[in-house]
A and B are shown apart, each in its own frame.
Chain A
Amino acid sequence: MTEQQYFDQYMSRELADSAKRRKRFSPSKLIIYLLLVFWALTTIYPFVWVILNSFREKGMIRKDSFSVPWPGSADFTMDNYLTAFERADFKNAYINSITVSALVTLIVIFLAGLAAYGMVRYRFHGRRALHLMILASMMFPVFSTIIPVFRLQVVMGLASTGNRYLSLLSVVLPQIAGNLSFAIIVLMGFIRSVPIDLEESAFIDGAGVFRIFSKIILPVARPSFATVAIFTFLWSYNDLFTQTFFLRYPKEKTITLLLNEISSQAGVNYGLMAASVVLVVVPVLLVYIVLQKNIIKGMTIGAVKG
């Protein structure tokens, strides 16, 4: 059998199964939905709140931040968005943000995938020590590592050069390191649960470890990689602290950085702050919605085949 056939077999069983489960009906469904809807309300509400207030006249938010500013009413305004656009070179900032976060995400899932696979499947001396190292590094606060990293990158000729691409690289590298430990830990948990029979039958058919990794582990653990990718992207994108340290000239700035600067005195102007949040959140939600497809069973089959 080829690897493709293993998959077809594996996935078609899965498809049959999920179809079966979907048909099943139980009276407890109502309670399930009530609970799900309740939680959904708590998560949607703040989001709606932010969007509504991004259209609200400043000064009104604190007085009356929980009503709807209908277009045309006295406290409806587009000013917050206009102010934001006026102040910033948005196109460039979105490009910078997405370049940095996409690079970080791709490299992290690749390197972490390799490392997690090695850590889970191999038995070797020092494995426990390496595991502890990964675990410990997850807790290194960025506040205490940033200065040595900055000096290091100045010596390497990456930081503070005034060159846009080098500056972006000087954010990408520490962010890769910062997200690796999390990614390895999570992927280890997932890969450990992958049944080893698939790998063994592939091995009997003569596949080497790298082939097994790319043709079995990567596709089977696809949902797990998507999950890790989502969080890596999100954290890289929202990581203001590293960005502030390394991106200082206007053309280098990311969208998160730019909008944070505009609304840095947000204590005063909640409307501008809300508009900034909306503008920042949009790309992350897009990435989530795109990547989330990979976490859904039905979609996985098509994705692997295609």
Chain B
Amino acid sequence: MKRLLATALAVIMVISLTAGCGGTETTTTKAADQTTTTKADDTSETTTGSEEPSGPVEITVVTSYGGDDGNRGNYEDAVSAYEEATGNTVLDASATSDEEWKSKVMTDFEAGTEPDVLFYFNGVDANPIIEGDKVVSLDEIREEYPEYADNMKEDLLVPSPVDGKVYTVPVNGFWESLFINKAVLEDAGVEIPGADYDWETFMADCEKIKEAGFTPVAVSLQEVPHYWFEFAVYNRGNQDNHLNLPASSDDETGAKWAEGLGDIKALYEAGYLPDNTLTASDAETVQLLADGDAAFLIDGSWKIGYFQENCADNLDDFALAYVPGQGERKATDLVGGISMGYYITRKAWEDPDKRDAAVKFVEHMTSDEVVSVFATTSVTALKDGVIPSDDLDVLQLSAIDMAAGATSLVGAVQDGMSAEARGDLFANIKNIVTAKITAEEAIDSALALQ
């Protein structure tokens, strides 16, 4: 028995090793090339001095396009194209963006082992590296390279909250909007919501959907209440004051937030959320929409990939609509923006050999052609817009229609909160809807950590 098992395991391992070999021969040789070029580069460094950037250079790059990112393949292709065009090599340490990744990136800057080019958030998450002068602003780069990022619209380049200067060149942004399951709406006898969708109609629709035996809204309040919070608060204000942070729960913004949180509580109390919204994971509730058990889901532009992957057979059941509006906010006023971009670190900029390679790399990764491949349906800052692609599926087309009908785009107010405050507020949403604490108490608790 034991020997049999051991043999079986050994066979599996051998198969996987050989299969691994076959598939990856190219990468191994590439890695070998890489080391030789580095060596060659080292010698040229010493001989030519540091005036002119010379010969092939190796730059280190960290992005969030690793792991299972939807653009991972596109990213790898673009990097190879850069290596071919310039002769430089890229030592890539990309990973999936999560809290651990963020702390790793920050630790690198603290320890002085930061990469030459970094693709990272442009909001408060990057404050420490800007305060520490670890990255170079666009102004400074443009003194040497006047055309740097000149294919981007200036007003869509996001300034740092620290000093108002722009540090990042973006690839593509995101929008948040309403995903709907048309089959469920049809079964419940509810019309497909249009550009004038308002809160009252939405609540009436939810009632009908609930009576028909479906779950109106797919959301996990315990894990990802973020999108509903964003729109509920936006619905109680307008485009101009949406990004204001309250100083306390009893100022104007605080009152607005409390009202928005009250709307979420009303949805919960009316039974429009999944029965187990307080214990279900986000994956579980999203699945409700995918399985045709729920009608509405607010999520981001990246979620399209999920439906393409998991609902390929009935993709035309799904579409994008607008989150119902209320008061001054029209349904077509979207939340979204550009939250990440390429930084060049001070370390690479001050290194005469790497400066040019790093700049070229960012220019290449943010060129019209590359950005168009990455963006498909999401927002970009390109002056000339995305080069259109002609093989889009129904959901992508629906998304493009939806985005085209947008009347405005405003950032997410939660991105202006510190991670600590945000975490506290969202952890308390389950307590608000179950009336364990009031919305005002939750807001004040979060603001104490801001």
Contacts and interface: CB of A to CB of B under 8 A. Distances in A.
A and B form one complex: yes
A279 interface: yes
Given A162-B91, A261-B66, A262-B68, A90 B17 contact: yes
Contacts of A86: 23
B91 A85 contact: no
Contacts of B13: 94, 282-283, 286
A276 to B, nearest CB: 11
A143 to B, nearest CB: 9
A245 B104 contact: yes
Nearest to B31: A251
A88 B26 CA distance: 11
B279 to A, nearest CB: 16
B351 to A, nearest CB: 15
B91 to A, nearest CB: 6
Interface in B82-138: 91-93, 95-96, 100, 103-104, 107-108, 110-113
B60 interface: yes
B20 interface: yes
Contact of A85 (B10, B12, B19, B113): B19
Interface in A146-197: 147, 150-151, 154, 159-160, 162
Interface string B268-312: 000000000000010100010000000000000000001001100
Contacts of B68: 261-265
B6 interface: yes
Contact of A154 (B5, B27, B103, B111): B111
A91 interface: yes
Interface string A37-74: 00000000000000000000011001000000000000
Interface string A260-288: 01111101110000000011001101100
B310 A268 contact: yes
A6 interface: no
A78 to B, nearest CB: 11
Contacts, number: 105
Interface string A110-154: 000000000000000000000000000000000000010011001
Contacts of B107: 147, 150-151
Contact of A248 (B9, B12, B95): B95
A89 interface: yes
A10 interface: no
A92 B23 CA distance: 12
A208 interface: no
Contact of B113 (A59, A154, A251): A154
Contacts of A88: 20, 24
Given A62-B287, A86-B23, A261-B68, A250 B92 contact: yes
Contacts of B309: 58, 268-269
A289 interface: yes
Contacts of A160: 108, 111, 113
Contact of A91 (B20, B62, B287, B306): B20
Contact of B10 (A147, A248, A286): A286
Interface string A233-257: 0000000010011001111000000
Nearest to A84: B16
Contacts of A250: 27, 31, 92
Interface in B36-67: 60, 62, 66-67
B389 interface: no
B436 interface: no
Interface string A281-299: 0110110011000000000
A261 B95 contact: yes
A151 B111 contact: yes
A282 B9 contact: yes
B16 A90 contact: yes
B306 to A, nearest CB: 6
B67 A94 contact: no
Nearest to B93: A248
B240 to A, nearest CB: 37
B222 to A, nearest CB: 15
A89 B28 contact: yes
Interface of A: 58-59, 62, 81, 85-86, 88-94, 147, 150-151, 154, 159-160, 162, 241, 244-245, 248-251, 261-265, 267-269, 278-279, 282-283, 285-286, 289-290
Given A85-B16, A279-B16, 12 more contacts: A88-B20, A147-B103, A154-B112, A244-B95, A249-B93, A250-B31, A250-B92, A264-B68, A267-B281, A269-B309, A289-B6, A290-B6
26 contacts: A58-B310, A85-B19, A86-B23, A88-B20, A89-B20, A89-B27, A90-B17, A91-B17, A94-B17, A151-B110, A154-B111, A154-B113, A159-B111, A159-B113, A160-B111, A241-B100, A249-B91, A261-B67, A261-B96, A264-B68, A264-B96, A267-B281, A278-B12, A283-B13, A286-B9, A289-B9
Interface of B: 2, 5-6, 9-10, 12-13, 16-17, 19-21, 23-24, 27-28, 31, 60, 62, 66-68, 91-93, 95-96, 100, 103-104, 107-108, 110-113, 281, 283, 287, 306, 309-310
What 9 A-B pairs are tightest by C-beta distance, nearest first?
Answer: A90-B20, A160-B113, A248-B93, A267-B283, A89-B24, A154-B111, A265-B68, A264-B67, A261-B67
